Amino acid sequence: MFGWAKKKDARTEAGKLSRLLQEYPPFTPRHVALNIPTPGSNAPVLTESQAHENLDQYRDALPSRLALLRPVLAGIGIDMDAAYSDPLAYVATLHRTLLAELPPLYRPELARQPARELSSRGGADIPLSFMSDLAMLECDVLMRAKPGCFLGLNIDPDDRKMASYRRPCLLGLRDAHFAAPPATLFVEADYFNSYGAMDHPERLASPDVRLPAGWMRTIGGTLLMRLDRFEAHPDLPRLRESTWLAQAARAEPRAVREA
C-alpha cells in the first residue's frame, strides 16, 4: 500500500487546495448543455452555433483563467512557470501535490460526464473549474511549443458520438511516430478523468513515479507525452482549408505567454 493511500476519514479532511478554491471564480460555459442527445433526458443539447460561442469564450478567457490559476498553484507549492520552462519538474510536483489535495474535493457525481456537462462549475462544483484551468495551461504550453496547433471545435462528422464533439479541443497535432491525420485532443477530459480517479487515487502512479515513463497514470502526464511525441501536422495548412478543420475555429489562435 502506498503511503498516500490514507484512511477514508483522513481523506475527507479539507486541505490547502480546498481552502484556496473557496473564493475561486468559476468558469461557466456560456451555453451549459450536453454535446449529444441522451435518451430519456430533457437536458439542452449544444447547437454548432452555441458551441462556437463557447469556443470563443474559452479562447478569450484563457489569459484571465491562467492569471487566476497562478496564485492557487503557488499556494500549494507549484510554480506555474515551470510548466513552460521545466515541464518534467512541473508534472512531478503537480502529480505529487494533487494526489494529496484532490481526494477531499472528490464528489462521485462529478465523475460522470453528463453531470459535468450540465454543471455551472461553481459552488460545490468548483473543482471542475480548477481542472479546466489546468487543461488550459497544458494547451497554452503546447501552442507555444508546437507552432501551428490551435484551439478549435471538434466538428468531425465521424465523432458525433464522442465526448469531445462540439467541445473546445487542441487541434493540428499528430503523433510524430505515425503517418496519421491530425489528432483531436480533448485536453479538458484528461484532467476531468484525473479528478474522477480520486475515489481510488491508488490507481494512479505513486507520488515518486519516475517520469516521463509513468505519464499514463500521472496527473498532467499527457503534457510530457505530447511534448515528446507530437508535432504540428506537416500538411496542416491544406487540411485547414479542405477538411472540417476549416470551420473548427473562427480566428487564428494565440498563446498566452510571450516567447
Distance (Å) of CA 38 to CA 21, 104, 109, 156: 31, 30, 17, 19
Structure confidence at residue 5 (pLDDT): 42
Residue 254 in this model has a pLDDT that exceeds 90: no
- 157: exposed, middle or buried (Cβ count in 10 Å: 0-12, 13-18, 19+): exposed
Percentage with pLDDT > 70 across the chain: 91
Q: What angle (nearest 5°) sits at the alpha carbon of residue 142, between those of residues 120 and 249?
A: 60
SS3 86: coil
Average pLDDT of the residues of the chain: 90
Non-local CB neighbours of 156 within 8 Å, separated by 6+ positions:
165, 184, 244
In 3D space, the residue among 65, 80, 5 whose CA is nearest the CA of residue 29 turns out to be: 65
Query: Tell me: the pLDDT tens digits for 115-128?
Result: 999 999 999 999 99
Task: Give me the pLDDT at residue 251, please.
Answer: 52
* Residue 184, C-alpha cell as written in the block: 483531436
Model pLDDT for residues 141-155, shown as the tens digit of each residue: 999 999 999 999 999
Whole-number Å distance between alpha carbons of 80 and 41: 40
Please give the grid coordinates belonging to residue 121: 462549475
Q: For residue range 206-242, what is the model confidence (pLDDT) as tens digits?
A: 998 888 888 889 999 999 999 999 999 999 999 999 9
Cα–Cα distance for residue pair 189/170, rounded to 1 Å: 12
Amino acid 77: pLDDT: 97
Per-residue confidence (pLDDT) for residue 210, from 0 to 100:
87
- Please tell me the predicted confidence (pLDDT) of residue 215: 87
Residue 152's pLDDT is 97
Q: What is the pLDDT of residues 160-189, one digit of tens each?
A: 999 999 999 999 999 999 888 999 999 999
Q: Report pLDDT for 253.
A: 43
Model confidence, pTM: 0.90
